[in-house]
A and B are shown apart, each in its own frame.
Chain A
Amino acid sequence: MTTPTVIITEDYPGETRAHGLRRLSRLTWRATQLSAVTAVGLVTLFARTAPAQTTSQTGTTPSMQPSTSAAAATHAARRHHRHAHPGASANPQPTVQAGQSASGNTGASRPSPTPTTAGSSGGSGGGSGGGSGSKSASPSPTLAPPTTAPAPAPPPTTAPAPQPTHSSGSHGGG
């Protein structure tokens, strides 16, 4: 009596093929599921980020990418500014480079960005002769004394004296 061998599962080609097909089918299904989940995730991500970026450019909501939007805004503003000040640097580099420290004498001694009245101020120096005509429109403070120190008021005469202007220390905090 012969006993049927039970080597079929191992060696039977038809069963092996069917098993492989089932595995392939499962893998394909899982790949399809993964693709679908990925697609849904990407759609969700774009749906959320697209409005946020638009809002950040208007400056009303904190941006998810602050450095990018800030650089763009600064760049745009500087481009606009250059139109108003043709004398400004024409360097097209969009990012702002750190300026030199304003502390110490370095910042104070650097030539100032000349305001629009600089030309007329120069005229003052030449045209007014003495007095304080040498002052520029945006002078660099040096804590220098005046050319002539304050003098006592002249003694009263019979002629009507001009009304003095008052210095009473209400400045500050403007």
Chain B
Amino acid sequence: MPTAAAAVAARTFRALGTSATLLVTDPDALGPAGRVLAAELAAIDAACSRFRPDSELSRVNRARGRAVPVSALFAGALRVALAGAALTDGDVDPTCGLSLVRLGYDQDFARARRRTRPLRRPLAPAGGWRQVRLDPARLVVTVPAGVMLDLGATAKALAADRSAARVAAEFGCGVLVNLGGDISVAGDPPADGWLVGIADDVAFDAIIADVEPSQVVVIRDGGLATSSTSARAWRRGGASLHHIVDPATGQSAESCWRTVSVAAASCVDANIASTAAILRGGQAPGWLDGLRLPARLVRHDGSIITTGGWPADDDAGAQNGCPA
């Protein structure tokens, strides 16, 4: 039975290099649910952070081709990332770690973006995901020497899915978890559903409470994710860079889309689809339509198209894909 909107309680804190927001339909559960979320995010950070030398990911990246025993959590996160690569023919490639390092994203983004010197080292194309070996029974991972994993995008979405499912299960309430735009909901939603504001062009350090959303939609299940070339963007020398890497070149992807938001059965699904849509450019609307995924794609000039039943904006642009 959906609960009244007035009963929703919220809490926001910093985690995983971004803001984490928790909404629950049972205000009494907010405190303990927040602790569950914080513990889940801490576990994901310890397993999958590229910026912690003691993380499992760093240990795997340092192994230079040797087999490394890993936790079930890390194995699950890697399995999700590799499945995402398979589902997108390698567009969403978890072996883009070295690409990001060569682009200057080699530490926490808040610090990395402050450096503006020109890049001196050559680009590093990715595309090594087929060589990554995961033995889920033995919990052993082997990454070829010279290949560096980055699970940033899918791991955060996975954390949102895991946290929402766990909170809903433990406290029997409706829950929404938002990790920097990766949203997962579980349990019974409020009577009017979960209101989600879609923001097109938000800087990394924007104060979310001050952001005026371009559109507000209601979701009741699954997940919703937004990928953008403008949120995590920086400059090195004269080059404008962002964190969505074209695996073929190792360069920040050149896309006709500024922002893509996708709703799916889970936040992981939504995240993979939104990231792949940025990379697929003009092919993205047809691909998303074929998957029946509701999506909202925003061009650099601000014009918008939608797919899969996503509600249209009042100012939606022509429905004919990217300009040539």
On whether A170 and B231 interact (CB within 8 A), knowing A74-B66, A108-B79, A147-B265, the answer reads yes
Question: Interface size of B by Cβ–Cβ distance < 8 Å?
Answer: 135
User: Contact between B80 and A152 (Cβ–Cβ < 8 Å)?
Assistant: no
- Chain B residues, CB < 8 A from A13: none
The answer to whether B222 has its CB under 8 Å from any CB of chain A is: yes
Q: How far is the CA of A130 from the CA of B174 in the complex (A)?
A: 10
Give the 9 A-B CB pairs with smallest separation, nearest first. A169-B228, A99-B135, A146-B222, A124-B169, A108-B83, A96-B67, A138-B76, A169-B226, A164-B197
On whether A139 and B79 interact (CB within 8 A), knowing A96-B140, A132-B185, A150-B219, the answer reads no
Chain A residues packing against B (C-beta within 8 Å): 70, 74, 77-78, 81, 85, 88-89, 91, 96-105, 107-108, 110-117, 120-121, 123-124, 127-133, 135-154, 161-174
The answer to whether B119 has its CB under 8 Å from any CB of chain A is: no
**Overall SS of chain A's interface:** loop
Q: How far is the CA of A130 from the CA of B213 in the complex (A)?
A: 28
User: Contact between A174 and B73 (Cβ–Cβ < 8 Å)?
Assistant: no
On whether A170 and B204 interact (CB within 8 A), knowing A123-B169, A150-B217, A153-B218, the answer reads yes
Q: Mark B284-324, 1 if CB is under 8 A from A, else 0.
A: 00000001111000000000000011110000000000000
Chain B: minimal CB distance from A34 (Å): 42
The one of B172, B225, B272 in contact with A167, judged by C-beta atoms closer than 8 angstroms, is B225
User: Contact between A169 and B231 (Cβ–Cβ < 8 Å)?
Assistant: yes
Chain B: minimal CB distance from A22 (Å): 61
Which residues 49-69 of B sit at the A interface, judged by CB distance below 8 A? 49-50, 66-69
Which residues 102-127 of B sit at the A interface, judged by CB distance below 8 A? 105, 109
Chain B: minimal CB distance from A142 (Å): 6
- Chain A residues, CB < 8 A from B272: 141, 143
Q: How far is the CA of A96 from the CA of B137 in the complex (A)?
A: 12
- Chain A residues, CB < 8 A from B261: 167, 169
The answer to whether B150 has its CB under 8 Å from any CB of chain A is: yes
User: Contact between A131 and B189 (Cβ–Cβ < 8 Å)?
Assistant: yes
- Chain A residues, CB < 8 A from B49: 174
User: Contact between B166 and A117 (Cβ–Cβ < 8 Å)?
Assistant: yes
